[in-house]
A and B are shown apart, each in its own frame.
Chain A
Amino acid sequence: MNVIDTLIGGLLLGGLYTLFAIGLSLIFGVMRLVNIAHGDFIVLAAYIAYLVIGATGLHPLVALLVVIPIMAVIGYLLQKWVLNRTMGDDDVLPPLLVTFGLAVIIQNALLAAFTSNSMRLSAGSLQTSSLPLGSIQIGLLPLFTLLMAVVLVIVLEFIFARTRIGRAFRATSDDPQIASAIGVRADHIYALAMAISFATIAIASVFLAMRSNFDPYSGPARLIYGFEAVIIGGLGSFYGTLAGGLVLGLAQSFGAQISPNMQILSGHLVFFIILALRPRGLFPKAP
């Protein structure tokens, strides 16, 4: 049963990577922006959750009700006041550099505020509960993580496909000038997209922090996993991002079976192979 065990473990891990990736996928889809500080904002959100839990004693999942709006507001204002000024002229470099700077600032600010000691959010009994499935035990927390990722992907697909704001996201992505000519304010749309991206960052942060230790330098690796999931899945589709996250999780899970040292490397190798064979990813949106 080892293969099935590994398979399930990989899919569950893929759920977490999807959570890392979904916000990146969203802002790239709407405004071709790559947020280098994405992983560091995940860590920042984890520390905010830590503070909220310390002040209120809430369970991390309940604390999300506070952390999500905080992060959404930070995302909205960050885009509105900082990143919107760096966009336009089809030059992707300025926002890249600014978010890179933010990543460095966040890491050092967190180090100053919280030291480099690693932390974890206690999920209580959720941490150790599992669901027996035949001879396999499925951890409830990883299962919740995967379910959360799937729900989030479905919700975002629905928002983009069916709602007024979703139409505005797609139209602005297609042609910002014509979108503004019909009355869509691109700066506001971009800020809303970043707010939603940051809401997913809040969710990713709490699921990460309940599952493993984090410290001020945990961000960049989360960015890499998220980024790889987005690229594997193909840009512009949330279902693709989910598939990318699952593929990455499976690759790491099977790699770990070969040798524990191979876990991370095999994820990167699969990413590299897919990038070489299908540069547009597994499920690219029609050109």
Chain B
Amino acid sequence: MAEPLLSIDRLSSGYGDFQALFELSFDLQQGEMLGLVGANGAGKTTLFRAIMGLLPRQQDMVRFRGQPIGALPTSDLATLGIAMVPEGRRLFRSLSVEENLRIAGDYGRKGHWTLERIYALFPILAEKRHAPALSLSGGQQQMVAIGRALIANPDLILFDEISLGLAPIVVNEVYAAFPAILASGVGAIVVEQDIARVRKIARHLVCIREGRIVLDGAAETLTLHDLTVTYFGE
């Protein structure tokens, strides 16, 4: 098997004295879409924050293309090829739509994804390019957040609850962009509450509960029942 894109190796982390993750280990292959599921408070967002260096972790706990990156500052990860679509979108409020995209392009890598290609993927953003980012609807803001990750031309994107707070029809619209995103060869970890949706888009599923991995396997081998049981506990 080829070298994994991302290896999480006995990753423990938390907030101050409160440990939230306990020795998590899993691999993500190049170009793979991994679904990360678990109840609220299970540690999904905490895991993303630890990978990004926004929470403490150690050198060997996170490896990217074989290279230990657990000791790198967050700001080094964009040029290595890691991007995040954070929970709650967290657009820059004093920047316009286009500036939100442009700044990520300034500091990211050059490649397939350009401002034009983001606008082609989400045409509504081209229309609203000069509007303040937070004046957009929730779904449109989510498109900006996704575009902000893409334009840095990452090899790995961490998507955190992109359907949170969005109407189902809007969620469909946002997810409609996924085939085009994955076609560019990017690997992804997707946190999503809707298990049925995750099973449709991800081949590899990891379920965590109370900061520990309770399930790790190919999506087709896991039934909805398996997942529901691990999700909520016995």
Contacts and interface: CB of A to CB of B under 8 A. Distances in A.
A221 B107 CA distance: 41
Contact of A170 (B76, B94, B104): B94
Contact of B107 (A170, A174, A177, A184): A184
Contacts of B84: 181
A13 B74 CA distance: 46
A180 B78 CA distance: 9
22 contacts: A170-B92, A170-B95, A171-B92, A171-B94, A174-B95, A175-B90, A177-B54, A177-B74, A180-B74, A180-B75, A181-B75, A181-B83, A182-B104, A182-B108, A182-B148, A182-B152, A183-B76, A183-B107, A183-B152, A185-B73, A185-B75, A285-B94
Given A173-B94, A184-B107, 14 more contacts: A168-B103, A170-B92, A170-B95, A171-B92, A174-B95, A175-B92, A178-B92, A179-B92, A181-B52, A181-B54, A181-B75, A182-B78, A183-B75, A184-B103
Nearest to A182: B104
Contacts of B108: 182-183
Contacts of A285: 94
A246 to B, nearest CB: 25
Nearest to B94: A170
B92 A174 contact: yes
A167 B103 contact: yes
Nearest to B90: A178
Interface in A169-219: 170-171, 173-175, 177-186
B106 interface: yes
10 A-B pairs with the lowest CB-CB distances in the bound complex, closest first: A183-B78, A183-B107, A180-B74, A174-B92, A180-B75, A171-B92, A185-B75, A182-B104, A167-B103, A170-B94
Interface in B74-115: 74-79, 83-84, 86, 90, 92-95, 99, 102-104, 106-108
Contacts of A171: 92, 94-95, 103
Contacts of A167: 95, 99, 102-103, 106
A229 B86 CA distance: 38
Contacts of B152: 182-183
Most chain A CB within a 10 A radius of its CB, from B54, B104, B107: B107
Interface in B143-165: 148, 152
A103 B92 CA distance: 34
Contacts of B107: 168, 182-184
Nearest to B105: A182
A181 B92 contact: no
A183 to B, nearest CB: 3
A99 to B, nearest CB: 25
A167 to B, nearest CB: 5
B93 A174 contact: yes
A174 B86 CA distance: 15
- Chain A interface secondary structure, helix, strand, loop or mixed? helix
A32 to B, nearest CB: 14
Contacts of A175: 90, 92-93
Nearest to B106: A164
A175 B94 CA distance: 10
A167 B106 CA distance: 10
A179 to B, nearest CB: 8
Nearest to A236: B94
Contacts of B74: 177, 180-181
Contacts of A182: 78, 83, 103-104, 107-108, 148, 152
Contact of A184 (B52, B75, B86, B90): B75
A181 B86 contact: yes
B6 to A, nearest CB: 16
A170 B103 CA distance: 10
Nearest to B132: A286
A185 B99 CA distance: 18
A171, A174, A182: which has the most chain B beta carbons within 10 Å? A182
Nearest to A186: B75
Interface in A241-269: none
A183 B104 CA distance: 8
A226 to B, nearest CB: 23
Nearest to A171: B92
A106 to B, nearest CB: 32
A168 B83 CA distance: 17
A243 B99 CA distance: 27
B86 A178 contact: yes
A177 B90 CA distance: 10
B17 to A, nearest CB: 15
Contact of B94 (A174, A177, A178, A183): A174
Interface centre among A167, A180, A183, A185 (most CB of B within 10 A): A183
